[in-house]
Amino acid sequence: MSFEAAVHAQAIELDKLAMEMTAEAGSGHPSTALSLGHIVTVLMFHSMRWSPDYPAYPTSDRLVLSEGHAVPIVYAAACRLGVVVGKDPDKRRKLTPADSHKLRAWDSELDGHPNPIEGFPFFDAATGSLGQGLSVAAGLGAAAKLDGIDKRIYCVIGDGESREGQITEALDFIADQKLTNVLAIFNCNEYGQADRVSPQQQVEHLIPKLKAAGFEVKEIDGHAPAQIKAAFDAFAEGSARFDGKPTAIVARTVKGWGAPTMQGGGWHGKPATGDALKKCLSELDEKRVQLTSSLASGDAFEIQPPAQAAPREQSAGELPPMSQAMKQMDMESLLHTGKLATRRAYGIALRALGEVNDRVVVLDCDVSNSTHADMFAKAPDLAERFLECKIGEQNMVSVAAGLSAAGKVPFCSTFAKFFTRAYDQIEMAINSGANFKLVGSHAGITLAADGPSQMALPDVSWFRAWTTMRDHKGNPGCYILQPSDAYSAYALTGAMAEYEGPCYMRTLRADTEFLYNDGQVFNLGGFETLQEGRDVVLCACGYMVHEANKALDLLDKAGIAATLLDMYSIPFDADKLLDIINANNGYVISLEDNYGGGLGSAIADALTESGDAFTLRQMHVRRIPKSARTPEELLQMCGLTAADIVKNVLSLLQVA
């Protein structure tokens, strides 16, 4: 039979299966699925170079379904093709038609939206929160380009979804990086959830927008097999060149194609059941008869396998001691000043890491001279592994998720405050099981002069939520790291690279005095005792460790022997902490340069679980700060100076 007829036959099979799956699940988005039947058929049965037996094979072409709610159409194809699934890599199996009955069931790999960590390795990243997929695809494309792998990344984006600003950030990034191996496919079915898509997202506006973004744009009928194939072939032809314009396809499609019953508005996210389902299925059957001679579908297809993956040697050597690295970088003189900003130490560590670890890539959002990621960017042998994302934080984080899926270890840096606008992307990357590192600079109030619009203040509270649960490997969803000096910032950067999982490190604008040396070991989950006392425990992190240090002498003069802990990690060893607090009569003060819900609450959680009597005084920022010219003025404004610490200790111990 003709390719045309075969695609129609297969697409309609998938459409029907998607209808049945969502009906049985009692929820899902069949009408969206039907708008993609033909495109997904041409991709998965013909154009993509991949193997259903090894869906995550390194050289396979990839499909990123940005409009994740359309996933039943991909699951339908996967069930037909017997794609290999399974949460446990050692116990993987081929999907069977029976699996199509388990969509969204709690013991099924066919999750409500693409969710690789639940056992569907065909996908690289969790999607479903809209607007993120094209950035993930860009990350996969950038990794393939770096590794010299001829791999094509197909990304399907909804028209309504294209309203999300992140999509334009991704388009600009793809154009900047000349990622001709990424194909942006816009599924223009004209309907969002509540209503039609805005004219701003309709084909007539979308095409000029994409052209203005520097893309080669092909408009096609998304249900015309020959047009789909031709567009994919044209993209494939130039995909490995990495010059000229990247390609976008604008596909006119019909939401509920082939089943007039569920076309038009009102059917978004609603499965047809009972008679309505029967009606839709028969409408699809009629459509099939109309479009093709009936025959066992799929016969006409032969999926091209991916190229044999070349064995890759990847170095992952030891990070040298900081002082040694600084000597090599002719920065030794800085060591003698006795102080260094933790953000600077991060830059030094990044560069040293880059030399010993091929997998490390660095991303930044136009502030690399503030975060000091520019130390990596400026090293000639590392420069190609530095990806400048310009001022688009959402895109940066999702690109990192894509890079991680391709085996890279991405470090993302910007001001800690500006990561806030990528929290949704960070959550989706964690849900994807991505291995990525976020390093936010200028954290907390000691940034001072720039004012609150540049200060990260509720950030620790948000990331801490991730320390209260466990990911699929049984690890904390994220580690929060708050180094107080350059040696710890340097060492923790190395520790992050060695650890396979998400980390968030806060660095400081101001120089801080050295508290440690090359010999000191820092572990994710650890803390360090800087002074052992008996009367009260000061639990401080980051800049506040230095303020607490000042307080120690004042307290000593007042006859109080305080214990000082550098709580550089959340989570931390709670049992060890409780022993120390018990040895200090149960009195503890937490010190942080951000709003509450962070370190103090983490300690409170540990104390209240034990059931013993403890008294915790939390010292943190309790007002919206404003600009002042020095960190000291900010600490005063927020009641966090050494003198304030002493005052709190005295009232806590009721000696004043």
Residues belonging to the active site: 393
Q: Whose Cβ is closer to a second copy: residue 230's or residue 469's?
A: 469
Q: Whose Cβ is closer to a second copy: residue 25's or residue 143's?
A: 25
Where is 536: in which H helix or E strand?
strand 536-540
Q: Which amino acid is at 475?
A: N
Q: Whose Cβ is closer to a second copy: residue 52's or residue 451's?
A: 451
Give the shortest CB-121-to-a second copy separation in angstroms: 15
- Report CA-CA distances (Å) from 454 to 190, 418, 446, 448, 634: 39, 8, 11, 9, 14
Give the shortest CB-266-to-a second copy separation in angstroms: 9
Residue the block writes with tokens 């291995």 = 435
Collapsed DSSP state (helix, strand, coil) of residue 14: helix
- 503, β-bridge pairs: 437, 479
User: How big is the chain by its Cα radius of gyration, in Å?
Assistant: 28
Collapsed DSSP state (helix, strand, coil) of residue 70: helix
Cβ-contact 297, 14 below 8 angstroms:
no
List all residues 6 or more positions away from 579 whose beta carbon is below 8 Å from its beta carbon: none
Q: Whose Cβ is closer to a second copy: residue 322's or residue 634's?
A: 634
d(CA 260, CA 257): 7
Give the shortest CB-570-to-a second copy separation in angstroms: 10
- CA 431 from centre of chain: 8
Q: Whose Cβ is closer to a second copy: residue 327's or residue 623's?
A: 623
Q: Which amino acid is at 113?
A: H
For the sheet with 409-415, list strands across it: 386-388, 360-364, 409-415, 437-441, 503-506, 479-481, 569-570
DSSP string, 532-557: --SSEEEEE-THHHHHHHHHHHHHHH
Give the shortest CB-214-to-a second copy separation in angstroms: 7
Structure tokens at 141: 């494309």
Residue 549, Ramachandran bin (φ over 0: left; ψ between -120 and 50: alpha; else beta): alpha
Give the shortest CB-391-to-a second copy separation in angstroms: 4
Q: Whose Cβ is closer to a second copy: residue 271's or residue 354's?
A: 271
Q: How many CB atoms lie within 10 A of CB 163?
A: 16
Structure tokens at 631: 């960190």
Structure tokens at 314: 């990847």
d(CA 614, CA 601): 14
Give the shortest CB-248-to-a second copy separation in angstroms: 13
Q: Whose Cβ is closer to a second copy: residue 41's or residue 168's?
A: 168
Give the shortest CB-375-to-a second copy separation in angstroms: 12
Give the shortest CB-105-to-a second copy separation in angstroms: 6
Where is 153: in which H helix or E strand?
strand 153-158
Structure tokens at 495: 């520790």
Q: Whose Cβ is closer to a second copy: residue 5's or residue 434's?
A: 434
Nearest in space to 124 (alpha carbons), one of 116, 132, 135: 116
Give the shortest CB-495-to-a second copy separation in angstroms: 23
Q: Whose Cβ is closer to a second copy: residue 637's or residue 650's?
A: 637
